[in-house]
Amino acid sequence: MNANPLAALMQDRCLRTAAALKGSWSENAGANRKRVMAQHQVSDLWKDESYKLGVLIAAGPSLKESLAEIKALDRSKCEIVAVDMAYAFLVANGVIPDYVICADANPVIQRTLTADLPAGAKAPILLLNVAVDPATGADWDGDVYWFGMMSNFYDGDRKVWMQQDHERRSGCSSFLVPGGNVGSLGLSFLLGVRSSPKVVLYGHDFCWSADGDFYAGGLQKDLAAERITSERQAGTVFEVDDAQRQCRVLTNASLMDFAGWYRDRMREYPGVVENRTPVTIL
């Protein structure tokens, strides 16, 4: 029996989510096979060694406070990976990342990949999970590189490990290690594929102050409301101190679980991952 009620809750959620969605994930992996074969795999971006700083940008509400610092980065000495939810906000504020990463199989995530790039600007490289909806990223103007998610889920109905099922159906043999959210896949990409000697984090709040400002710039309000409402109905929204204890913030069970995964990685690799997010529970 798990002595940590929050950990037990999240484990149960993960199992129920996998059971409910495994069929659609598998179908999507098969439907994306032609695109995978015609495009690239994340392993094609492998570097044995790199001197460039890895910059991982998530979509926390404090991201607006970090824009000046991000813009001041020497782009010749760093690589920026943005999660899908942060992409449009960054472009609207003059920051074009090198990579955008997307893993959600929900068809609605497609709209987060739309941004008004300046005339003549090159689109970032899109990193796509093989289990996304087949329409996701289909009209992306730049290069697309595919990956599967490493998984220890065993599908008892089909008698196959989910990771192997997705590989066979999609033809993609490149994998990233997830930690519960899309940002964790970005960290896996920067450390495991691009060999970043150090990764700095922006927008990794794992918390919010006002319900209308859940995602950076107040974007995707309907998706934010859906997440907040489901957690409130489950009784898993909490008021806590931010890491600097400068203010009280709201968080939920999922965000606390994601932050815990990052915290474990920072303990395992001291000095390699640095959180520069101004308001955060990490």
**pLDDT (0 to 100) of residue 21:** 84
What is the SS3 assignment for 32? coil
DSSP line for 49-75: ---SEEEEE---GGGGGGHHHHHTS-G
Pairwise CA distance, residues 259 & 102, whole Å: 19
**pLDDT (0 to 100) of residue 112:** 96
* Residues of the chain below pLDDT 50: 1
- Residue 2 DSSP class: -
**pLDDT (0 to 100) of residue 150:** 94
Number of DSSP helices (H) and strands (E) in the chain, helices first: 8, 13
Which of 161, 136, 135 lies closest to 149 in space, CA to CA? 161
**pLDDT (0 to 100) of residue 101:** 98
- Specify whether the CB–CB gap between 218 and 212 falls below 8 A: yes
**pLDDT (0 to 100) of residue 1:** 47
**pLDDT (0 to 100) of residue 235:** 85
**pLDDT (0 to 100) of residue 20:** 83
pTM exceeds 0.85: yes
Pairwise CA distance, residues 272 & 187, whole Å: 11
Pairwise CA distance, residues 216 & 88, whole Å: 10
